[in-house]
Chain A
Amino acid sequence: MSRVKARIVRSVIGSERIAYITTAAGDSAEVLLSAAQTGFNHVLAAEVARDNNNVLVEFPQETSSGYWRVWVNKNQILPE
């Protein structure tokens, strides 16, 4: 699993977090997750493809815009 940079916000339910991730297109993807799938500045996601400067990642849940997979710039992936 990779750690993707994200702004993490507490949800109304204590075990949930809302993550905002910057996509390769410059948009903000919103995804509701278990707290265990996030850190203070990142969300866990699986890398499924790479294309030049971008990485296609799959989040543990569907984003609010309806996609499980989102292209992010590779600089959004935190080093291991």
Chain B
Amino acid sequence: MILTDREIQIFLATRQIKITPKPDPVLYSSTSVDLTLAKQLRVWSFDQIDKTRGEIITPGPKFKYLEFRDKYTKSINISSAKGYVLAPEAFVLAWTRETIELPNHSRIAARVEGKSSLARLGLAVHVTAPTIHAGFEGPLQLELCNHGPVSIRLTPGMPICQLIFEMTLGTPAKGYSGIFLRQKK
């Protein structure tokens, strides 16, 4: 079952869902709440358009994502005035300004999804990984990709994605303890 705006607000009031800072009333819809873009981005430290570099990633037991990330990306802070211009075909990592907590006992999981106003421009906010598992704590990492033909200016605080909450059938046997728990920007 998907929570409506009223249930989301009840769950927030009873701290069965925690969102910090608390969403503004205009960020709700009937069945979701929007989250906003943090000022920190992880951008590639090379020209994304240059396809001649020849690096190959081999996902698997020996692959270390954080080493890969630190080797090929750099962290930047974007300003409200200039923002960050995401060129066509460009891909960056971003985070929500809000921190989410879904306590296991709350029997709540969630999905992060894009917003139609941005999707129409070609902006995707995740790469096939929308699930927020029960027990999750932290800001949400977003994988922003501009599939459109026109550059898109990203500004901190803009509504960037929507969160849809669902009740689980039971309580999970153990808490979520994945490597992305309390993920850092």
Q: Residues of A with Cβ closer than 8 Å to B? A: 46, 48-49, 56, 58, 61-71
**Do A62 and B25 touch across chains, with their CB atoms under 8 A apart?**
no
Q: Residues of B with Cβ closer than 8 Å to A? A: 5, 25-30, 34, 115-118, 158-159
**Do A71 and B26 touch across chains, with their CB atoms under 8 A apart?**
yes
The listed residue (B5, B26, B30) touching A70 by CB distance below 8 A is B26
The listed residue (B5, B29, B30, B117) touching A65 by CB distance below 8 A is B117
Q: Inside 8 A of A58's CB, which chain B residues have their CB?
A: 28-30
**Do B34 and A66 touch across chains, with their CB atoms under 8 A apart?**
yes
Q: Inside 8 A of A49's CB, which chain B residues have their CB?
A: 25
**Do B30 and A62 touch across chains, with their CB atoms under 8 A apart?**
no
**Do B116 and A48 touch across chains, with their CB atoms under 8 A apart?**
no
**Do B30 and A67 touch across chains, with their CB atoms under 8 A apart?**
no
Q: Inside 8 A of A64's CB, which chain B residues have their CB?
A: 117
Could you pull out 21 A-B pairs where Cβ atoms are within 8 angstroms?
A46-B30, A49-B25, A56-B25, A56-B26, A58-B28, A58-B30, A62-B29, A62-B115, A62-B116, A63-B117, A66-B34, A66-B115, A66-B117, A67-B26, A67-B159, A68-B29, A68-B30, A69-B26, A69-B27, A70-B26, A71-B26
**Do B117 and A69 touch across chains, with their CB atoms under 8 A apart?**
no
Q: Inside 8 A of B159's CB, which chain A residues have their CB?
A: 66-67
Complex A-B, nearest 9 residue pairs according to Cβ-Cβ distance, in ascending order: A68-B29, A66-B159, A66-B117, A69-B26, A62-B116, A62-B117, A67-B26, A64-B117, A66-B115
Q: Inside 8 A of B118's CB, which chain A residues have their CB?
A: 66
Q: How far is the CA of A49 from the CA of B6 in the complex (A)?
A: 12
Q: How far is the CA of A68 from the CA of B28 in the complex (A)?
A: 7
Q: How far is the CB of B28 from chain A (nearest CB, A)?
A: 6
**Do B27 and A67 touch across chains, with their CB atoms under 8 A apart?**
yes
Q: How far is the CB of B107 from chain A (nearest CB, A)?
A: 26
Q: How far is the CA of A49 from the CA of B30 in the complex (A)?
A: 13
Q: Inside 8 A of A70's CB, which chain B residues have their CB?
A: 26
7 extra interface residue pairs, beta carbon distance < 8 Å, beyond A66-B158, A66-B159: A46-B30, A58-B29, A61-B116, A62-B116, A66-B115, A69-B28, A70-B26
**Do B5 and A48 touch across chains, with their CB atoms under 8 A apart?**
yes
Most-contacted residue by chain B among A56, A64, A65, A68 (CB, 10 A): A68
Q: How far is the CA of A64 from the CA of B116 in the complex (A)?
A: 8
